[in-house]
Amino acid sequence: MNILVTGGAGYIGSVVVEETLHAGHKTVVYDNLVNGHRDMVAPDATFIEGDLLDRTLLETSLRDHDIEAVIHMAAYSLVGESVVEPEKYYVNNVVAGIALLDAMRASDVSKIVFSSTAAVYGEPEKQPIEESDRTAPTNPYGDTKLAFEHALKAYETAYGIRYASLRYFNAAGASERCGELHEPETHLIPLVLQTAAGQRDFVEIFGDDYPTRDGTCIRDYVHVVDLARAHVKALEILDERSAIFNLGCGGDGYTVSEVIETTREVTGVNIPTRVSSRRPGDPAVLIASSDRIKSELGWQPEFQDLRFIIESAWKWMKTRSNGAVARKDA
């Protein structure tokens, strides 16, 4: 297929592009580089620097490359920022997303895979979380992702655009070429690795009095390569129908303390920590039920082992900085 990946120069998008190319799909990346990295786009992909709100460029890109399906990953995704700057999030994650759907309609592209998020569930009523559970986001970021899911449903009913919405849990790890490089960084594993590399003084643990096995929050980490492969599988189901899938590994998840301890083992570095109070809206446990994606898409995570996830991210960090982060290595 000919595929256009919005946000394909970002962390997850760059790995998705590696996997679509690997599966034999001709891949076009459409990214305005606001948070992306041109050098993370695979050399075999076509790169177009453009904004989703540039309707003319978007439609030309869809038509000129005979695009048959879109993987829509471009968005803003900082929860805290979305609370203080909701306009930025509604414009980019909803208004620009609708502009994409309308450009698809105008260009007769009728398949889309969407990067949704576990944040659509808010504070879940039970674990593991199933796709049929109540959606009740607790911040504008989650609201915008859920709003776009609603738009997808309406656009399918009215205009026949099929969608697969993938509700990611915590993407983590790296491929050989591509890894996590957000600015600012808010995700636990890169923060812990940056502390191991001496780029931060300590890791802040938000609460150690949760009802979990060691008092720290439990999250579901999915290796970015496993996550990317789910997109290739999701493209296939669009021949038949639309669907919503959780994209996490399920199981017991990992606590914040387990992530830090495993990173100490992987890097051989003592990682200072500081415990502060709980953050509002941080549930004790967030684990996906991955039954639906496993049974309906035949997706199976291969790299869910935490040690492997952290090793891949550490290796990538060192390669990216030509070994500079390794200065504290044991």
Ligand X SMILES: NC(=O)c1ccc[n+]([C@@H]2O[C@H](COP(=O)([O-])OP(=O)(O)OC[C@H]3O[C@@H](n4cnc5c(N)ncnc54)[C@H](O)[C@@H]3O)[C@@H](O)[C@H]2O)c1
Residues taking part in catalysis:
141
- Tokens encoding 11: 């962390």
Answer for which of 3, 4, 5, 7 binds ligand X (CB under 6 A) is 7
How many CB atoms are located within 10 Å of the residue 118 CB? 24
Q: Is residue 170 near ligand X by the rule CB under 6 A? A: yes
Answer for which of 5, 42, 96, 230 binds ligand X (CB under 6 A) is 96
Q: Is residue 32 near ligand X by the rule CB under 6 A? A: yes
d(CA 237, CA 235): 6
Q: Is residue 165 near ligand X by the rule CB under 6 A? A: no
Q: Where are the beta strands (DSSP E) in the chain?
A: 2-6, 26-31, 46-49, 69-72, 111-117, 162-168, 170-172, 203-206, 218-219, 221-223, 243-247, 254-255, 273-276, 285-286
Name the residue among 301, 98, 69 with its Cα closest to residue 164.
69
Nearest approach, Cβ of residue 209 and ligand X (Å): 25
Nearest approach, Cβ of residue 263 and ligand X (Å): 17
Q: Which of residues 284-323 bind ligand X (CB under 6 A)?
A: none
Place of tokens 């979990």: 212
d(CA 249, CA 170): 10
Q: Build a one-symbol-per-residue string for 69-88: x at contacts with ligand X by CB under 6 A, - elsewhere.
A: ----xxx-x-----------
Q: Is residue 51 near ligand X by the rule CB under 6 A? A: yes
d(CA 189, CA 302): 19
Distance of CA 298 to the CA centre of its chain: 20
Answer for which of 27, 82, 117, 267 binds ligand X (CB under 6 A) is 117
Q: Which stretch binds ligand X (CB under 6 A): 8-16, 60-68, 151-159, 290-298?
A: 8-16
Of residues 52 and 196, the one with the C-beta less far from ligand X: 52
The residues pairing with 47 across neighbouring beta strands, listed in sequence order, are 29
Answer for which of 3, 4, 19, 36 binds ligand X (CB under 6 A) is 36
Q: Taking a C-beta distance cutoff of 8 angstroms, is the pair 12, 228 a contact?
A: yes
Q: Is residue 61 near ligand X by the rule CB under 6 A? A: no
Of residues 35 and 263, the one with the C-beta less far from ligand X: 35
Q: Write out the residues near ligand X by the rule CB under 6 A.
A: 6-7, 9-13, 31-36, 51-52, 73-75, 77, 92, 96, 115, 117, 168, 170-171, 182
